[in-house]
Amino acid sequence: MIGGLLKGLIATTMGKENTNSGIQNRAIYSRVSFLYQAAAFLSSSAPKAAPDAKNEEPAAAVLSSTTALAVQGISRRLTTDLRAVSLKTRIRLTPAMKHAICKFCDSVLIEGQSCTSSVENQSRGGRKPWADVLVRKCHTCGRERRYPVNAPKPKRKSERGNLAVETTVNKEREPRKGGHGG
């Protein structure tokens, strides 16, 4: 009787584990999401040290600029944590999130506020539309990142692995094992 009950209990718990169709690592995803939102909020709500505001008291201006710096610092700290969580748990950030974080200083990049974007085309006379490159310059560290705009997407490592296996099969060799990384 009790054994049957226990069996049933184990079966249900095991069933629950097996039919866990929800997102894996839900807690980590929500943590990453929270960190990103908090960093973006702090970055966007940091008081601006307006250089042309002459009616403000100098002391107040200094205070607001130090507050702005502190808030920016907290925002960058959160982004650093986000990156650490993503690296440690090997969870891939979405390209949009990745592009919204400065690779060099971990600032949240907000268009027109903490970064400027421009499109440049270094082909002769800009004749090649697929040579458009989006240049995003971070205002915090002054460094630039470039993203191809119209170029075809590079293949993922897993897809490249499959391709390599296919070619070896075509050459009538044994398909290589362990070509699938993480």
Cβ-in-10-Å burial (0-12, 13-18, 19+) of 42 comes to: buried
Instruction: Identify which of residues 86 and 114 has a Cβ nearer to Zn ion in the complex.
Output: 114
CB of 67 to Zn ion, least distance (A): 20
- Relative to beta strand 115-121, strand 144-148 is unpaired
CB of 152 to Zn ion, least distance (A): 28
Instruction: Identify which of residues 75 and 107 has a Cβ nearer to Zn ion in the complex.
Output: 107
CB of 137 to Zn ion, least distance (A): 9
Contact set for Zn ion, span 110-139 (CB under 5 A)? 138
Contact set for Zn ion, span 43-102 (CB under 5 A)? 102
CB of 114 to Zn ion, least distance (A): 8
Instruction: Identify which of residues 31 and 145 has a Cβ nearer to Zn ion in the complex.
Output: 145
For position 140 contacting Zn ion by CB under 5 A, the verdict is yes
Q: How many residues bind Zn ion (CB under 5 A)?
A: 7
Cβ-in-10-Å burial (0-12, 13-18, 19+) of 139 comes to: middle
CA-to-CA separations, 128 to 118, 120, 123, 124, 152, in angstroms, rounded = 17, 11, 6, 8, 14
Answer yes or no: are the C-beta atoms of 46 and 71 closer than 8 Å: yes
Among the residue ranges 30-38, 43-51, 104-112, 128-136, the one whose residues contact Zn ion (CB under 5 A): 104-112
Answer yes or no: are the C-beta atoms of 147 and 134 closer than 8 Å: yes
Alpha helices in the chain (DSSP H): 2-18, 26-45, 58-89, 95-99, 157-170
CB of 29 to Zn ion, least distance (A): 25
Q: Which residues bind Zn ion (CB under 5 A)?
A: 102, 104-105, 107, 138, 140-141
